[in-house]
């Protein structure tokens, strides 16, 4: 079985990064474990929309979107049909996922 990987692309122009993920990890976990800045004001419990990402490839392998997640995505900046919250995108073994992190607005920067 191929390794589970997540390729992170960035709307702000940073070069793409690909990282190995363990089954059961979220996209947010993998980003933070690899020093990728991705806001997560609620701590990754599906309580806000700050970890909003676009799932470009592999979205069929992710858990189905919940009503709660969909409500928060509706509040995200520039939501698309491929929008998800990174904290809710839990990968399975063998998943090949590509996500784009939108430009983020960090307070105090």
What integer pLDDT is reported at residue 91 of this predicted model? 96
What integer pLDDT is reported at residue 107 of this predicted model? 54
Global pTM value: 0.93
Has residue 1 got a pLDDT over 50?
A: yes
99 contacts 56 by C-beta, under 8 angstroms: yes
Q: pLDDT: is 71 or 1 the higher one?
A: 71
Closest CA to 51 of 76, 82, 68: 76
Q: Could you please report the per-residue DSSP string of the chain?
A: -PPPEEEEEETTSPPPEEEE--TT-BHHHHHHHTT-----TT-SSSSSSTTEEEEEE-GGGSPPPPHHHHHHHTTSSS--TTEEEGGG-BPPTT-EEEEEEPP---TT-
For the segment 72-79, the average pLDDT, to the nearest whole number, is 94
What integer pLDDT is reported at residue 108 of this predicted model? 46
- Banded model confidence at residue 2, pLDDT cuts 50, 70, 90: confident
pLDDT digit string, tens, across residues 27-68? 999 999 999 999 999 999 999 999 999 999 999 999 999 999
Give the integer Cα–Cα distance in Å for 101 and 85. Answer: 10
């Amino acid at each position: 079985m191929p390794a589970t990987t997540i390729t992170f692309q960035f709307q702000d122009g940073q070069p793409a990064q690909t990282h190995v993920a363990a089954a059961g990890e979220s996209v947010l976990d993998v980003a933070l474990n690899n020093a990728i800045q991705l806001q997560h004001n609620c701590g990754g419990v599906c309580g806000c929309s700050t970890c909003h990402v676009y799932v470009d490839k592999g979205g069929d392998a992710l858990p189905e979107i919940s009503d709660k997640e969909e409500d928060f995505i509706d509040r995200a900046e520039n939501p698309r049909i491929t929008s998800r919250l990174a904290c809710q995108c839990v990968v399975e073994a063998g998943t090949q996922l590509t996500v784009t992190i939108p430009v983020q607005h960090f307070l105090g920067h």
